[in-house]
Structure 1
Amino acid sequence: MKKRTLLYVAFIALLCSCENTGSAYERAKGAKPNIIFILADDLGYGDLGCYGQKTILTPHIDRMASEGLRFTQHYAGATVCAPSRNSLMTGQHMGHTTIKSMEKPIKDNDLTVAEVLKGAGYRTGVIGKWGLGNVGTSGYANAQGFDYSFGYYDQIRAHNYYPDYLMENGEKFPLKNEVVYVTDSTNYAVGIGNAAVKKKEYSNDLFTQKALDYIKNDTKEPFFLYLAYTIPHANNESFLINEHGMEVPDFGIYDKEPWPSEKKAGASMITRLDSYVGQILDLLKENNLDENTLVIFTSDNGPHQEGGWRLDYFDSNGPLRGMKRDLYEGGIRVPFIARWPGKIKKGETDQVVSFWDFLPTACELSGQDQPISTDGISYLPTLLGDNEQQEQHSFLYWEFKTSISRHAVRSGDYKLVTIKDPKIDSTSIELYNLADDISEKRNIADQNPAMVSDLEAIINRFR
């Protein structure tokens, strides 16, 4: 009997040993950790201390970077809000997404990250700015895989930090603020854009409280929380009340600085966002969820220059050229930090990744098959330090079309930017080697016609 027991113990030990073999990457496949994806709005590459910011204080995000992995070559899906978020949700680049520029709802047949994770048994929630479809459309968040939604469904309404109501699971959530709406029929925001004449409840404070409540709602299922703040976007309808658009309850630690009010407000918005992240991280630790939760922090595109805010106040784009609405690096290269204690190795990586890589990464984490519709590549190997398993993109692609048509493609270290203005019958073709020209100052197109031709062929595939 004793001999049989010893054999049984040895057999169990062997099984445990087999389960623990393999790389951290192999062991993490299908591990189903909680996932919190925190998205800032119009936050620049240079706005955080861990990316070189010298004046604005972001201690909690900096701590997150020191405890996790900081990416130096991470790209948003687009240079403006709606298409970038669509790319994040569907795992597709701009050549394939159904939202190209102005707001249109996600289509019924678009597969979202939330649908993937819900299919894997996750509890799914979106809090903050959805911006991809209102109630009654195919883009309504609760029709796209989210069990719970709270915040702004419309991206123009999201300009106002003190709205008269938010939305919760398709119903109006009234607030104590009083607003005036745009009535000028020549304005793009007519009937939707608004500004507050009575400011009582700050939307991003409410997002944080709802997020904390969502995390504390302890259930047996793993959870996915897409927490999309609107900081530090400007209220573009602030002209209605003759104020700048950097809306924040107070100037905080910058109150005594000898700066104009919009500069104090913008800095305070970023530091306030940092405090929200700190609250999330603290709660995870307090509730023993820390080591089973992957937290990601990034921004939807580069920094803006609206509502009184200026790039040169604090060097918001850092060493990068351009800003929101540009396809230069300043418009699309954004901060990206991933933290998962005990799993992600601390440090920095120059692995090139993008918004459309999040969906396949979520597939690997949840044990789901990667859909053929995605343009993305899972970056789970990079997160877990298994660089030999990390696949590489052959190219990354972006476009942005208004009256001027902009396209960009990156392959390896080379990036091609084309800008066509039909009004003046002008087309510029610019090629940069990002390995030694991160600021895109030296156009080397004339010296590399073969490279230009190869990259133009990729653009023409989706033009």
Structure 2
Amino acid sequence: MTAATETNKFNAGWRSGRGERFGGVDKGLSDWLGLLIQLCLCRFFAGLLVLLQSSSYVTRADHDSRPNFVLMMVDDLGIGDIGCYGNDTISTPNIDGLAADGVRLTQHLAAAPLCTPSRTAFMTGRYALRAGLGSTGRVQVILFLAGSGGLLPNETTFAKLLQKQGYTTGIVGKWHLGVNCESRNDHCHHPNNHGFDFFYGLPFTNFNDCKPGAGKGVLVDVQETLWQISVLLTLASLTLLAARASGLLRVSWTLVAFLAAMSLLSFAAWFVPFELLRTWNCIIMRNGEVVEQPLKLETLNMINNHVIYVVRHKDGPFLLFLSLAHVHTPLFVSEGFTGKSKHGLYGDNVEEVDWMVGKMMETIARLGLSEKTMMYFTSDHGGHIEEGPKGGWNGIYRGGKAMGGWEGGIRVPGIFRWPGRLNPGREVAEPTSLMDVFPTVVKLAGGALPEDRYNTSESIFKVHFFTPNFSPAGAVGCYHTGVCMCHRPFVTYHNPPLVFELSRDPSESRPLSPDTEPRLAEVLERVKRAVTEHRRTLAPVEKQLTWTKVLWKPWLQPCCGTFPFCSCEESNHTSAAAE
């Protein structure tokens, strides 16, 4: 039995197709390892492009033109929320039709279980760690639109490479990879600086603070602490002032003034960045201009703009990245989908997503572009199970959003459709990754791949060096904190790491042991060597998720109007052009 054949028995375990899946350990390795969730071994594997172009999946390989690309990504969608992946109560006929007409991936993996690092990896074809956007600290995503962290200007995205091949490139929807570095208008992290000719959407993300009455979503514990400090300092200064006025205590005016000043500062530190979050973070931009502040997501402007983009660039070649703000909380739908599903507002969200996918397919067909366009559908990571009925369902897979390497947080839908090129109704069981889209799109567009993607593996084991501590005990989720944290004291380290065989244990309930798998020691030794090799390839990069990078900076705040009185509203129309 060959080594490759033997390792195939760890099909859970064993994943072929990518070379950068790592985990973090407690001792001997730096903190960055904690975010990465796979271990790579062995030889180069050609990946998704080979799978899609093999004779099993392609009907005609002698195509005479480069395709257009429509890449559709949903936010926080669980793999169990879609009909073609097993859901029989939420209606998704258009997504199911996309799969029936194309190729469905059954082991499609996000590079991280959170928005910012997953989208970084998707855009660049390599782990977010290499772009400075991987973290195991308190902050793992961009928290403020007016922070200075984000996707560095020197990063290579697939959009930049397609621009060089003559493609018109656009993104409609969510970005969440930063905007500015040093001034309000430098736009160093902006989509227009990363290969996209056109941008319309959320430069940040949709989160609870964007919807009045939906609660708070950013650093809730910090907000509460600042508020409590402000209240205590105010009470202390008022008490001392009353004591001095009544003659009970001889208190200096300096002390009273100092406490009052500190009270005002702590109140400002709470009120300005946090209580005004809806104004600061929740905006819509068209290219570099703020056109709506705060945003109103119930309108149809997103769908209007992505349809207009395709119509205007129908002569191609074009790339459209439709990055939906659905189904991230707070949930929102347009009027026609309210109460439509059997699963409340979350089900309404999923069904509106399906309608938007159908609208995109209809537009492509109406323009006669179906056989000239590769369409792709996925989610950035698994569903947010701590949200209960407002969060997604990850099917049989354990865990979800923000839960490290548990399968429920990283296994996502993956559907490709290209009529006349891909055989309809096929399935790909081989493991694939969101990062595989980068080389697939670039090669099909006729571009050359960068030499620093480090895709050097064939056999891959997924191991858990640490796992989140679920709370309350017995739950599968971190309900006390809203999402699982990735640092002490919120995790348990495993030495040796946990290894599962997903082919027989897809819910990851029975870790392998020397008794159940005699070759486990050999596997872990190869894992150790793979980690060492991975560390050797890392180059220094400026970290983008430090506190100094992510905290709100007023001089970086995008604003329509005169700061701090930022306010503008865009009408629900179809005349706005995607130039």
Superposition TM-score, scaled by structure 2 size = 0.58
Corresponding residue for 2:412? 334
Tell whether 2:320 aligns with 1:252: no
Corresponding residue for 1:423? 489
Corresponding residue for 2:328? 233
Corresponding residue for 1:207? 302
1:126 to 1:158, Cα distance in 2 relative to 1, 3 A: farther
RMSD (CA atoms): 3.6
Shift of 1:249: 3.6
Check whether the contact 2:59–2:423 (CA below 8 A) recurs between aligned residues.
no
2: CA distance, partners of 1:363 / 1:60 = 27
1: CA distance, partners of 2:104 / 2:69 = 17
Check whether the contact 2:205–2:325 (CA below 8 A) recurs between aligned residues.
no
1:89 to 1:158, Cα distance in 2 relative to 1, 3 A: farther
Corresponding residue for 1:16? none
1:425 to 1:298, Cα distance in 2 relative to 1, 3 A: closer
Superposition TM-score, scaled by structure 1 size = 0.72
Corresponding residue for 1:288? 368
Corresponding residue for 2:460? 395
1:290 to 1:304, Cα distance in 2 relative to 1, 3 A: same
Tell whether 2:367 aligns with 1:367: no
Q: Deviations over 1:78-109 (max 9, x none)?
A: 10001100001101024523211322311122
3-state SS of 1:46 partner: helix
Tell whether 2:389 aligns with 1:321: no
Q: 1:47 aligns with which of 52, 62, 81?
A: 81
Check whether the contact 1:357–1:375 (CA below 8 A) recurs between aligned residues.
no
Shift of 1:57: 0.7
Q: Deviations over 1:267-294 (max 9, x none)?
A: 0000000000000001111110111000
Shift of 1:60: 0.5
1: CA distance, partners of 2:165 / 2:176 = 25
Shift of 1:266: 0.4
| Residue pairs, 1:114-153, within 5 angstroms | 114-135=159-180, 136-153=186-203
| Residue pairs, 1:70-85, within 5 angstroms | 70-85=104-119
| Residue pairs, 1:160-175, within 5 angstroms | 160=210
Q: Which has the larger share of strand?
A: 1
Q: 2:352 aligns with which of 265, 272, 275?
A: 272
**Alignment size in residue pairs:** 376
Tell whether 2:383 aligns with 1:303: yes
Shift of 1:394: 3.6
Shift of 1:393: 3.7
Structure 2: any 5+ residue segments left out of the alignment? 1-53, 135-139, 143-148, 181-185, 213-266, 284-292, 470-484, 539-579
Check whether the contact 2:81–2:87 (CA below 8 A) recurs between aligned residues.
yes
3-state SS of 2:409 partner: helix
1:441 to 1:34, Cα distance in 2 relative to 1, 3 A: same
Tell whether 2:422 aligns with 1:344: yes
**Higher Rg:** 2
Check whether the contact 1:58–1:271 (CA below 8 A) recurs between aligned residues.
yes
2: CA distance, partners of 1:114 / 1:398 = 32
Q: Deviations over 1:253-278 (max 9, x none)?
A: 74585xxxxx5100000000000000
Shift of 1:76: 1.0
| Residue pairs, 1:97-108, within 5 angstroms | 97-100=131-134, 101-103=140-142, 104-108=149-153
1:351 to 1:30, Cα distance in 2 relative to 1, 3 A: farther
Shift of 1:359: 1.2
How many percent identity over aligned positions? 28
Structure 1: any 5+ residue segments left out of the alignment? 1-21, 163-181, 236-245, 258-262, 378-391, 405-418
3-state SS of 1:277 partner: helix
Shift of 1:351: 1.9
1: CA distance, partners of 2:59 / 2:132 = 32
| Residue pairs, 1:3-42, within 5 angstroms | 27=61, 31-42=65-76
